[in-house]
Amino acid sequence: MSEMNITEIAEQRKYVLLKIFFLLTLFVDMLLIILFLYLKFFDLLLITSFKFCIFIMNFFLLRRKKYLLSMQIGVAAIVVATTIDTFFLGWKSYFSLYLIASAIIIINSIDLRLDWKKFEAIFILILFIVSLMFTNNGYSIYTVDSKLLEWVGLFNLLVVILSILFLSLQNFMENDKLKKKIEEISEIDPLTGAYNRRFFNQYLDIQIKQLENQIKYGHLREINFAIVMIDIDDFKKINDTYGHLAGDAVLAEVAHIIKALIFGRDIFCRYGGEEFVVLFTNTSKSGALTAIEKILRTIEKHEFVVNKNSKIHVTVSAGFASLDVESNIHRLLDIADKRLYTAKKMGKNRVAYE
């Protein structure tokens, strides 16, 4: 089993993808430097050489795990350089296609916030349109032989298409590796089919870090995030009366009911012996409470078969906590746990949410 945790695996994925992106850019820049040197376009040679140095510097940022910063610097360098190249050599050189590629990289960035993705992608596309308007009529600062310009355009077209396809393939492969590695360390609870406590705690840490960034930038109103702790009432009595095998059967069946009544996007975990946790990651508070109430009523009405012939009824209690303006994100689990205790004190078979 891998000793890396989920966060480290995700970080490794970012490193690999950015490293490939930087290496591709350096390879293309080397070819462009040779071309501009041959054509004696020293202005463009200087710009491309400067961009080449920037991407060398980005490898040092990668080693320091400055993933978002290195990507942003890299995209900015490409946007500036290719915009200048387009105005110098004209539309038919197809340098403007690197703007489209940069917009695609921005849109597919994991770490970048949605509003920044929109802003940067729109800005790059505006540059693309402006370059089209000013250079489509044949205007360019340099006069280049039409045949040579066709070859340059074909080169840039192939580079952009092949780079996008290659990066997309690498992204797919890295996602597949990430999924497999997560499965290796997640360790699904064999009895209930729910995630185990270790996985839940790691996943919760990742979600908290993402939410902290959203809260920091004033996106709290868009957040639907809640936790419910569910505990089987009088479970010790079931074990003492019918045996531990019967208790295991009840646990498995309760877990099956809970999983059937929550959304696939929600994270379901066996947190302790007879205690479960559900993390609602994209469900409104009212929607989560409706789901919890349905879970309680379904379990209450369900007949559990134990020891082949005996049928019993089981109830569960729940403690619910959601993120709002007054909530401390790091205390949600503790709040849900305390409210579960409150539900028990109030008579069991209920959910406490205040």
- Residues annotated catalytic, as ranges: 274
The encoded tokens of residue 224 equal 């639907």
| Cα distances (Å, whole numbers) of residue 344 to 254, 300, 302 | 18, 15, 20
For helices 42-63 and 67-89, give the axis angle rounded to 10 degrees. Answer: 170
Residue 258 DSSP SS3:
helix
Residue 141 DSSP SS3:
coil
**Rounded to whole angstroms, how far apart are CA atoms 157 and 137?**
20
Query: How, if at all, do strands 303-306 and 226-232 pair?
Result: unpaired
E strand segments, the chain: 226-232, 267-270, 275-280, 303-306, 310-313, 316-322, 351-352
CB 269 within 8 A of CB 200: yes
Query: How, if at all, do strands 351-352 and 316-322 pair?
Result: parallel
**Three state DSSP letters for 159-225:** HHHHHHHHHHHHHHHHHHHHHHHHHHHHCCCCCCCCECHHHHHHHHHHHHHHHHHHHHCCCHHHCCC
